[in-house]
Amino acid sequence: MVYPSWNEFLGKNPKDPEGAFEALCRLLFRNRFGIADSLPYFYNHPGIETSPVKVSSDIIGFQSKFLTDKTIDDSQAELIIKSIKTARKHNSTLTKIILYTNSVFNNNYKKASCHI
């Protein structure tokens, strides 16, 4: 079996890899929760990519972060934390936020600053 790579993704989406990644994340989110094409989203929605959805008793949103590095460094992690804080500020009913990223967290991240 041949597995796709991020280099192939970049090669197929050279003009706007971030936008293509966000579109992929919307598709994954809709698929995960069985949502049809009617997932409202607005450019620069505060903290999350779309309007949150209600699934059972949870109110769920998601954030996508397309990064050029293989690992997430401290400054990128701080941006993710800022997005989560923004999402919670503007959507006080959120119970879950799913993070989609093409990178992994560096194990050297300052764990003390992870409180959200």
pLDDT digits (tens, 9 = 90+) for 55-109: 999 999 999 999 888 888 888 888 899 999 999 999 999 999 999 998 887 766 5
**Whole-number pLDDT of residue 76:** 86
Q: In 3D, which of 13, 4, 50, 12 has the Cα closest to residue 29?
A: 50
Q: Examine residue 82 and state whether it is found in any structural domain, yes or no.
A: yes
Q: Examine residue 97 and state whether it is found in any structural domain, yes or no.
A: yes
Q: How many residues does the chain have?
A: 116
The torsion region of residue 82 among left (phi > 0), alpha (psi -120 to 50) and beta comes to alpha
Give the structural domain span for 106. Answer: 6-113
Q: Examine residue 71 and state whether it is found in any structural domain, yes or no.
A: yes
Q: What is the pTM of this model?
A: 0.81
Q: Examine residue 29 and state whether it is found in any structural domain, yes or no.
A: yes
Q: Examine residue 43 and state whether it is found in any structural domain, yes or no.
A: yes
**Whole-number pLDDT of residue 71:** 82
End-to-end alpha carbon distance in the chain:
40
Q: Examine residue 1 and state whether it is found in any structural domain, yes or no.
A: no
Does residue 116 or residue 44 have the better pLDDT?
44
Report which secondary-structure segment, H or E, holds 109: none
Residue 45 in tokens: 């929605």
What whole-number distance in Å separates Cα of residue 30 and Cα of residue 53?
A: 10
pLDDT confidence bin for 112, thresholds 50/70/90: very low
Identify residue 49 by its one-letter amino acid code. E
Number of domains in the chain: 1
